[in-house]
A and B are shown apart, each in its own frame.
Chain A
Amino acid sequence: DGGITQSPKYLFRKEGQNVTLSCEQNLNHDAMYWYRQDPGQGLRLIYYSQIVNDFQKGDIAEGYSVSREKKESFPLTVTSAQKNPTAFYLCASSIVRTRRTDTQYFGPGTRLTVL
């Protein structure tokens, strides 16, 4: 089945620890994105990548890091520098060939809780 997978579904972390969230897609999409969602709010962009080995900061990149070594994978690391990391994290991907087809499709999300 083609799609976007995120793991784990639930993640618990102690304060001061780094943690990495996985995002994999087998849709052959060029671009990948990470968003954060807090209760009662919309999604905010953390990082995005249009091609392998290249990525850009979104609106709330502080305390996060990413890598894009393979087209299929875009892991997100939540570092200890992120002051309030408890949130729902969503990964997305898109084709980026023409604007009309540049629709973002989302994975199922990872819920991160800092204890």
Chain B
Amino acid sequence: AQKITQTQPGMFVQEKEAVTLDCTYDTSDPSYGLFWYKQPSSGEMIFLIYQGSYDQQNATEGRYSLNFQKARKSANLVISASQLGDSAMYFCAMREENTGTASKLTFGTGTRLQVTL
């Protein structure tokens, strides 16, 4: 069974600084995908970044990058140059990709990020 662990319930970061949100995962499937979503107070889940287990390079999307360490089974999200609008809940999720069918996501419990002045 898949499992996602986010050990930081809350994090603070100063505006313009970088912050790393931790995510570790467990799966027996050799092919999987890792996702990060942002959930502002409005509730909608916003897709940020994706990393495939066979991707050679770490994924990047603007100010977001994913520090993928396969041997450690970790997929940490790095947000550079934090902005006040980055304050939100952040969820790590995983999808096993050898099932041949649906894209079932397993989510972690999330990390609440607060950006301060």
Residues on the B chain within 8 Å of A44, using CB: 107
From A67-75, A78-86, A95-103, give the one contacting chain B.
A95-103
Rounded to whole angstroms, the CA-CA distance of A57 and B107 in the bound complex is 17
Rounded to whole angstroms, the CA-CA distance of A99 and B97 in the bound complex is 7
Rounded to whole angstroms, the CA-CA distance of A100 and B35 in the bound complex is 11
With an 8 Å Cβ cutoff, the count of chain A residues facing the other chain is: 27
Q: Which of B44, B45, B50, B52 is A43 in contact with, Cβ under 8 Å?
A: B45
B16 within 8 A of A: no
> A-contacting residues of B (Cβ < 8 Å)?
4, 33, 35, 37, 42-47, 50, 52, 91, 93, 95, 97, 101-105, 107-110
Closest 3 CB pairs of A and B: A42-B107, A106-B45, A109-B43
> B-contacting residues of A (Cβ < 8 Å)?
31, 40-45, 48, 50, 56, 58, 88, 90, 92, 94, 96, 99-100, 102-109, 111
